[in-house]
């Protein structure tokens, strides 16, 4: 396998030198590799770069359970190998904290995203909304975590959006380790994405959206949001709902100097 095109920052830590992982799942454009430290994806260019993605020109052909070993910088399976030293690191756009004008545009633009509350979450949302009004993001995340189907359930995707909004717009508002607080309630893959969302990192089209909104590029923002919505059956839309809800909370708190009267829809 040749032509690595993007290595997420989380991949080397999840698969340290000398460790043999296993293929724990396959999808159309790649596979998931599991190790004692967690799960990451090896995929072709149809999959966006992300903190837990190794994106290559040609995805490996693998079978369930096949071993994948890392020796030094070489990641190797049956009939394929990648030299991680040759991979371009994934370095997504992040907002500059010292640029308040762009942060205001970012909060305003993200808060207008129209994505609805995922259907799987209607029953629990009143409790989540109350927790968000109290600024108790851990309680909100515990209620949402693991709700819905898939490797990254809808509730987790909403939490990821909330965490990204906090990291991008209101990093000073919460200090609790949300990802750790919900670790037992969700999947290995989702746990990893929440860990990175808490640090402001997600998949490339989400960062493209943030950059476009921050510089008032309406066309670019619309295109990036459409790309996010195409991710999974509902994951992209759920993430955007969480991102918009988090942005609305940040705007209301800064404007009112205290807790808002509501959070999100539903």
Tally the C-alpha atoms within 13 A of residue 136's C-alpha that lie toward its C-beta. Answer: 11
C-alpha–C-alpha distance, residues 162 and 247, integer Å: 8
Residue 2 binned pLDDT confidence (cut-offs 50, 70, 90): very low
Band of residue 253 on the pLDDT scale cut at 50, 70, 90: confident
Can you tell me the distance from the alpha carbon of 37 to that of 156, in angstroms, rounded to the nearest whole number?
Answer: 19
pLDDT tens for 111-165 read 999 999 999 999 999 999 999 999 999 999 999 999 987 778 999 999 999 999 9
What pLDDT, in 10s, does the model give residues 62-75? Answer: 999 999 999 999 99
Going by the DSSP 8-state scheme, the letter that residue 34 receives in this structure is: E
pTM exceeds 0.75: yes
Q: What whole-number distance in Å separates Cα of residue 153 and Cα of residue 261? A: 28
- pLDDT value of residue 220: 98
In the chain, the percentage of residues whose pLDDT exceeds 90 is 76
**CA separation for the pair 146, 161 (Å, rounded):** 15
Residue 131: count of CB within 10 angstroms of its CB: 19
Mean pLDDT, rounded, of the chain: 90
Q: Of 146, 119, 143, which is closest to residue 132 (Cα–Cα)?
A: 143
C-beta atoms surrounding 185 within 10 Å: 18
Coil, strand or helix at 22? strand
Question: What mean pLDDT do residues 96-110 have?
Answer: 89
Q: Are 30 and 47 in contact (CB under 8 A)?
A: yes
Q: Is the pLDDT of residue 257 over 60?
A: no
Question: What Å distances lie between residue 265 and 126, 144, 215, CA to CA?
Answer: 9, 15, 27
Selected residue with higher pLDDT from 211 and 171: 211
């Amino acid at each position: 396998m040749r032509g690595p095109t993007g290595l997420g920052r989380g991949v080397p830590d999840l698969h340290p030198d000398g460790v043999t992982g296993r293929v724990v799942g396959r999808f159309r454009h790649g596979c998931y590799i599991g190790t004692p430290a967690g799960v990451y994806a090896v995929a072709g260019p149809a999959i966006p770069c992300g903190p837990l993605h190794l994106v290559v020109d040609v995805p490996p052909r693998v079978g369930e359970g096949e071993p994948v070993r890392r020796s030094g910088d070489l990641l190797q399976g049956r009939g394929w190998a990648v030299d991680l030293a040759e991979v371009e690191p994934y370095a997504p756009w992040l907002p500059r904290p010292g640029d308040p004008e762009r942060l205001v545009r970012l909060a305003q633009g993200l808060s207008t995203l129209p994505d609805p509350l995922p259907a799987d979450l209607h029953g629990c949302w009143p409790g989540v909304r109350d927790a968000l009004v109290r600024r108790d993001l851990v309680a909100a995340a515990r209620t949402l975590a693991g709700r819905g189907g898939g490797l990254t359930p809808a509730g987790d995707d909403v939490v990821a959006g909330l965490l990204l909004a906090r990291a991008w717009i209101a990093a000073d508002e919460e200090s609790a380790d949300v990802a750790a607080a919900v670790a037992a309630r969700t999947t290995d893959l989702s746990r990893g994405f929440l860990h990175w969302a808490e640090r402001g990192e997600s998949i490339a089209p989400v960062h493209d959206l943030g950059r476009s909104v921050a510089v008032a590029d309406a066309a670019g923002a619309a295109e990036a949001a459409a790309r996010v919505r195409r991710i999974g059956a509902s994951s992209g839309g759920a993430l955007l709902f969480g991102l918009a809800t988090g942005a609305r909370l940040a705007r209301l708190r800064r404007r009112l100097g205290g807790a808002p009267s509501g959070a999100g829809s539903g």
